[in-house]
Structure 1
Amino acid sequence: MRTVIAGGHGQIALRLERLLAARGDTVAGLIRNPAQADDLAKAGAEPIVLDLESASADSVAQALRGADAAVFAAGAGPGSGVDRKQTVDRDAAVLLADAAERAGVRRFLVVSSMGADAGSTYSEPVFAAYLRAKGAADDAVRARTSLDWTILRPGALTDEPGTGKVRLAERTGRGSVPRDDVAAVLVALLDTPATAGMTLELVSGDTAVASAVSGLG
């Protein structure tokens, strides 16, 4: 299985790349900074230098050709302003979806955010822009009938070691979740085509990842 991950140097993306490579999958990560290539190679992924804020859909589609799945795990990150929430968290996700359609890559996963809503009125302006951008991207992906999409909306992310136990459902309530466990859930979702068409929230819980995913639907 070949998976291409946008935001390949992000903390969740690197964890996902390691997990997929460790089981023998072929993995590629899209990065904008060539200096990050060594980190991807150490994770077992092929680095592809491609800036989703300036690339064309055709150039991204070329990077996706031959892949079995694409994962959008990019984000503007802490410290970025309102403008980059739009160009990365919204526009880059839509661009990857466009490219996946052109390349014939049906399986499409999105790492979104709990509370993502295109109409968010959250009081803090930058975080409100983030939630609106994520929500708009999710809406755009859900409108694609040519993609077998799954949208994952984790709660507050932590760097604590993963427990392998989660709560995964359409609505979970607020909570936190280690990035390790987010990556593990993404692997399980990639392996479970029946989760296509689902928007899921994720927090730490009491159910093993495999059981949480297989129990959906």
Structure 2
Amino acid sequence: MRIVIAGGHGQIALRLERLLSARGHEVTGVIRNPDHGADVREAGAEPVVVDLESATAEEVTAVLRHADAAVFAAGAGPGSGIPRKDTVDRGAAVLFAAAAERAGVRRFLVVSSMGADARHAGESQFDAYLRAKGAADDYVRSRQNLDWTILRPGGLTNDAGTGLVRLSASTGRGTVPRDDVAATLAELIDTPGTAGLTLELISGSDPVIVAVRNVAGN
């Protein structure tokens, strides 16, 4: 499979690139900063420089053409300010999803956030982030030409992954290592039965492959 990952230099994306390339997939990491290309290559992916805040739909569509799956794992980051929550966490996600449709890429995964809600109240940066993520998720769910899966992890940690998770429509609050988020995404890509699902993810007691098969009904 050829898989294109937006936010290719992100902490989850780099982990996912390593996993997917180890499985023999052809992986492309979309990055904004060309200085990050070496890290993406080291993770086993081919970097492509496209700024999703300023790129045209045609430019993004060209990157996605001939892909079998796409993953939106980009984010403005905690120090980015409220305006970029909208331009990246919502706007770039919408652009990437629309471009996937134009390129004929059906399998589409989103790394969202637990609590994402376009109607979330509050004035803090995190409130704005949850609104932006929620609006992006709503857009993706409205696309009939995408076989989408939205993954909403709990609090992210850099602890070593355990390979044991809880994955369901509602898990309750909790944390999860980025290693295990990446491992779950890798399994979701290969499990088309999870299309149309919005799933929360925290650490738990099920091996990742079992958790994914359970939600897919396998």
TM exceeds 0.5?
Answer: yes
Correspondence for 1:180? 179
Query: 1:150-207: per-residue Cα shift (whole Å, max 9, x none)?
Result: 0000000000000000000000000000000000000000010000000000000000
1:1-217 alignment, distance < 5 Å = 1-122=1-122, 125-216=124-215, 217=217
CA drift of 1:125 comes to 1.3
What runs of 5+ residues in structure 2 fail to find an aligned partner?
none
Counterpart of 1:176 in structure 2: which amino acid?
Answer: T
How much has 1:121 moved relative to structure 2? 1.1
The SS at the match of 1:215 is helix
**What TM-score, normalized by structure 1, do the two folds share?**
0.99
Following superposition, the deviation at residue 15 of structure 1 comes to 0.2
- Hey, what's the Cα distance between the residues in 2 that align with 1:96 and 1:32? 14
Q: Which whole-Å CA distance do the structure 2 matches of 1:23 and 1:196 have between them?
A: 21
Deviations 1:73-121 (A, max 9, x none): 0000011111000000000000000100000000000000000000101
* CA distance in structure 2 between the aligned counterparts of 1:80 and 1:53, rounded to whole angstroms: 13
For 2:214 and 2:141, how far apart are their aligned partners in 1?
22
- Off by >6 Å, runs of 4+ in structure 1: none
> 1:181, 1:190 → 2: CA distance?
14
Whole-angstrom CA distance in 2 between matches of 1:57 and 1:200:
28
TM-score (norm 2): 0.98
Distance (whole Å) between structure 1 residues aligned to residue 131 and residue 168 of structure 2: 21
CA displacement at 1:23 relative to structure 2 = 1.4
Give me the CA root mean square deviation: 0.6
CA distance, structure 1, for counterparts of residue 198 and residue 90 of structure 2: 17
Q: Deviations over 1:9-38 (max 9, x none)?
A: 000000000000111110000000000000
Structure 1 residue matching 2:140: 3-state secondary structure: helix
In structure 2, what is the Cα distance between the partners aligned to 1:30 and 1:148? 21
**Percent of aligned pairs sharing the same letter:** 71
Structure 1: any 5+ residue segments left out of the alignment? none
